[in-house]
Amino acid sequence: MLKLYNTLTKNTILVKPVQKGKIKIYTCGPTVYRDAHIGNLRSYLMADWIRRTLEMQGLHITHIKNITDVGHMRQELLEQGDDKVIAAAIAEGKSPAEIAHFYTERFLYDEKELNIIPADVFPKATDHIEEMLEIIEQLVSKNLAYEIQGNVYFSVSAFPDYGKLSGNNIDGELLDAVRIEADPLKKDSRDFTLWKKAEPGRELKWPSKWGEGFPGWHIECSAMSIKYLGSHFDIHTGGVDNIFPHHEGEIAQSEGYTGHDVVNLWVHGQHLLADGVKMSKSSGNSFILSDLHEQSIDPLSFRYLCLTAKYGTRLNFTFNSVKAAQRGLTRIRNLIWNWNVLDCIDPNDKTVMNSWTDRFLETINDNLNLPSAISLTWKLLKSDINPRTKLNILHKFDQVLGLGLSNVKELYQVPNYVRDMVNKRKLLRNVSNYVEADTIRDELNAQGYVLEDTVGDTRVRPKTAFEKREELWYSYSSSSEVPSMINQCDSVRFTVGILACNYLDDVKRCVSSSLKYLNYINAEIIIVDNNSHDGTGEWTEQMAQSNSRVKVIHTDHILGEAAAKNIILRQARGTIIILLDTSVEITGDIFSPIEEILTDDTIGLTGPLGLRTDNLHHFHDGEGESGDMDAMQAYCFSFKRSKIKEVGFM
Ligand code: AMP
Ligand code: ZN
């Protein structure tokens, strides 16, 4: 049986159903004023794997995932009357309900794409105000909460167990973050809001015995978990940032209300990171599923990526890692395809099947050790068990992994005319007409199909969107991946470097005008296509293919300006590098003057316009002699390549 790490008891414990044969799970769901980022989705994947693991072992699961459509994820801001759903509604000119509905639908779609089994109920906070008020009233009557001027607060000092989950109450110490801007009405700064009086003009509000108001954040999860799962249930999940204050608050409310323990096991998933820090919208390092779609990456590749790390460890997301996951997933699908037994007929070897399934269960039951489960899956794939049995075992594994491996047949389906062409090619090969046979193969390849000749047969499947994209061009994930030519000697007089991110017309004008005036000059143009999506990638690629002086490097997401420009610096082979902004149109020979200026070795940078400053904070366009300038504009930024070695990259 499954063992999981319990944040409350700080050890790994066996999941023992409260009610025989049944497991009840509550998962803190999304706040629906924006898209869930893939970090959020990682925590829902964890809950999904827990559910599937238990289901595989014959337990009946009830899974609840709430939709936070009122209030705020951060209690201290809520206490200042801040509500992200309302803020988003105002910003987008919609009602809070419209905003919540829109993002709820998108969330459900994201979950579907990740093959997450839908929760049995997705209760909305706004539908459960009555239940919340009932708990709050009880807490007040038990002296666990108090009312002041229409606000109701939980009285932390009246609940001695407060802090048992997070350790944040030891010696009355609380995280500084929640002390900030402490509400002066609170009796104790640790107290948290259960009900907040509505400020004038507020739309989202409900009547209560203390006047019109709205609920705090934690109370919704107490109310909805108890309503749908009863006052004693098995598992509660969330991300580690939910431990405090959210789940600490929930424990105080639920246990204060019922008078006993409510949740058996608290499971928290570690964060998905990007650039080494927690992925979050506010840090500006978050990606959503459509960012993966843009790269033709299958959402299930993200699922596969998350399988490669234990839920209790941080996982650093990079496009490179998810692309590697995509290749891994495609390899699995291709193996299945090659076995040529796409129909799951009853296995003829039950003993082999059982022994593999037992090993699999043993692995995942050990605190959901999914990375080991994946390596066991690869062992199985590479084993010499007969394909039919192998496929059956794999389908069993996939009940937990959820990679959609039973869909390979549908995924790899091809239209009839493609089959006909493959058959025609077979006949041609039989009579050794390889020339015509190859023409058919090339034609199908161009149409997006992969042919593979096996012993006595040919198999055909559609290329994945990702394979098609990779055929177009390679995309880099970071500047450090791009080979550096910095130690190689100069091979041309000038490198014109252009960093392009959309604005195709500008890019065309900038590149064409540069080419025009570089006509008889020994030079190269290096364009970094910083993940454009308006055709700039295609146009620059075409330019590079038709003009040997133009080189383009594509990135797979928008890199920071310095990182993207460093790609140019790494690849440049010109004695002089000229970085042009795409808004620039060259209307004359700028190259000779630049070269002349830079013959003076005391000059580091040159360009047509400069910037002046009075305070080194604010710069304004300068006019007149370049000698008056304090800084260079980046429109046209020229320097000798040899200087990079002296001053380093950007
Ligand atoms: P929210 O919509 O902000 O309430 O978050 C929904 C869920 O995602 C919560 O369980 C959070 O703990 C979790 N979460 C937030 N950021 C991350 C992240 N970077 N990695 C993993 N889980 C996260
Ligand atoms: Zn919650």
Average pLDDT score over residue span 562-583: 96
The confidence band for 627, taking pLDDT boundaries of 50, 70 and 90, is: low
pLDDT of residue 248: 96
Residues by chain with Cβ below 5 Å of ion ligand 2:
28, 221
Shortest-distance atom of ligand 1 to CA 272: 20
**CA–CA dist 97, 95 (Å, integer):** 5
Mean pLDDT of the chain: 91
Highest mean pLDDT among 16-30, 196-210, 600-614 belongs to 16-30
Of the candidates 453, 384, 406, the residue with the CA atom closest to the CA atom of residue 425: 453
Please give the residue that has the higher pLDDT: either 14 or 189: 14
**CA–CA dist 211, 152 (Å, integer):** 11
CA 602 from chain center: how many Å?
Answer: 47
Distance 72 CA to ligand 1 centre (A): 13
Query: Is residue 242 lining ligand 1, measured as CB closer than 6 Å?
Result: yes
pLDDT of residue 349: 80
Ligand closest to the CA atom of residue 125: 2
Query: Is residue 280 lining ligand 1, measured as CB closer than 6 Å?
Result: yes
267 forms bridges with which residues in the sheet? Answer: 237
Shortest-distance atom of ligand 1 to CA 31: 2
468 forms bridges with which residues in the sheet? Answer: none
Distance 239 CA to ligand 1 centre (A): 5
**How do residues 322-380 score in pLDDT, each as one tens digit?**
999 999 999 999 999 888 765 555 556 889 999 999 999 999 999 999 999 999 999 99
Give yes or no for a contact between 64 and 119, defined as CB atoms under 8 angstroms apart: yes
Query: Is residue 65 lining ligand 1, measured as CB closer than 6 Å?
Result: no
Query: Is residue 531 lining ligand 1, measured as CB closer than 6 Å?
Result: no
Pocket test for ligand 1, best of 7, 25, 40, 74 (most atoms within 8 A of CB): 40
184: left (phi over 0), alpha (psi -120 to 50) or beta: alpha
The confidence band for 82, taking pLDDT boundaries of 50, 70 and 90, is: low
**CA–CA dist 458, 464 (Å, integer):** 18
pLDDT of residue 369: 98
Shortest-distance atom of ligand 1 to CA 240: 12
Show the DSSP H helices in 114-166 as ranges. 129-141
**CA–CA dist 381, 352 (Å, integer):** 14
Query: Is residue 38 lining ligand 1, measured as CB closer than 6 Å?
Result: no
Give yes or no for a contact between 226 and 184, defined as CB atoms under 8 angstroms apart: no
**How do residues 30-60 score in pLDDT, each as one tens digit?**
999 889 999 999 999 999 999 999 999 999 9
Query: Is residue 43 lining ligand 1, measured as CB closer than 6 Å?
Result: yes
Ligand closest to the CA atom of residue 64: 2
**CA–CA dist 110, 65 (Å, integer):** 14
Cα–Cα distances in angstroms (integers) from residue 389 to residues 354, 392, 404, in the given order: 11, 5, 18
pLDDT at 180 over 60: no
CA 152 from chain center: how many Å?
Answer: 37
Give yes or no for a contact between 178 and 79, defined as CB atoms under 8 angstroms apart: no
pLDDT of residue 618: 83
